[in-house]
Amino acid sequence: MRKSLLVLGLLLAVSACKVNPFTGQKTLNFYPNSQIFPTAFAQYDQFLGENKVITGTSEAHMITRVGQRISAAAERWLSANGYPGYLNDYKWEYNLVEDETVNAWCMPGGKIVFYTGILPITQTETGVAVVMGHEVAHALADHGAQRMSAGTLQQIGAVAGNVAIKDDKALNLFNQAYGVGSQYLGMLPFNRSQETEADRIGLQIMAIAGYDPYEAAELWKRMKANSGGEAPPEFMSTHPSNDTRINNLTVWAPEAAAEAAKFGVTSFK
């Protein structure tokens, strides 16, 4: 049983690699779009049905406008770099939901929600574009499917240990160590790397869409001020620290501007 689980895990890890077009790197992903997208779309519709969606306002129109511009920029980049049709299964949707939470999120396949609580921090259309670029990037890079794949392997490892270890005391120690170790040394760093990747990809596509990439660091300075310094240590978080993001985005902004120039975009909103 233990060997079977280990073999299954290895087969999944080896056979389920998909290339991220923006980085050229292979990623762990054994959930095809045809399997994950319909579920994500249904969950998104359910969420909208249970929450107050803002429509017809200037802010709601802005969310849609920015989302359309950035997803179109992503399609331009993908087509120009040898990935035509990459987005054929995506069903982009951008909704503003009344909620004081400072957040926005994206489900697999391009289903995006902005909460009204984040708008005082984004402040401008360019600020919205920073957040939108990041969320669109999560969808483009299949981060949701990757997290599910990593979670499956984590579960296989736990089951294998429980099958193999017969001594109750040793099993208890294993479960404690495995739970903490796989979380802090595996899942959390994995999630932070996805957030960092989404920041970098998002910066490029917002610039191609005509939004100033140099404003991204300014947005995160406002995020930091809004948090009041209350955040867990980075190693305990699913996200990079505000300071890490500010530093990264400052360094990457010239690269994003140079990428936008390849598409004839040399001035920004």
The pLDDT tens digits of the residues spanning 71-107 come to 999 999 999 999 999 999 999 999 999 999 999 999 8
pLDDT average, residue stretch 148-153: 58
Check residue 186 and give its pLDDT: 44
Indicate if the pLDDT at residue 254 is higher than 90: yes
Catalytic sites, residue numbers? 135
DSSP-derived pairing of the beta strands 93-97 and 111-115: parallel
CB 220 within 8 A of CB 252: no
Highest mean pLDDT among 40-44, 141-145, 229-233 belongs to 40-44
Indicate if the pLDDT at residue 124 is higher than 60: yes
Residue 182 is assigned to a structural domain of this protein: yes
Residue 73 is assigned to a structural domain of this protein: yes
Q: How many domains does the chain have?
A: 1
Residue 269 is assigned to a structural domain of this protein: no
30 vs 241, higher pLDDT: 241
Check residue 55 and give its pLDDT: 97
Q: What is the pLDDT of residues 162-174, one digit of tens each?
A: 555 554 555 454 3
CATH value at residue 249: 3.40.390
* Token digits of residue 208: 């191609």
Residue 267 is assigned to a structural domain of this protein: no
Residue 268 is assigned to a structural domain of this protein: no
Neighbours of 137 (CB within 10 A): 26
Could you tell me the end-to-end alpha-carbon distance of the chain, in angstroms, rounded to an integer?
59
Residue 266 is assigned to a structural domain of this protein: no
Residue 255 is assigned to a structural domain of this protein: yes
Query: One-letter amino acid identity for 149?
Result: S
Kindly provide the residue ranges of all beta strands, DSSP E only, lying in the chain, ordered along the sequence. Answer: 17-19, 26-28, 53-54, 93-97, 104-107, 111-115
pLDDT average, residue stretch 30-38: 83
Domain that residue 46 falls in: 2-6+15-261
- Reported pTM: 0.78
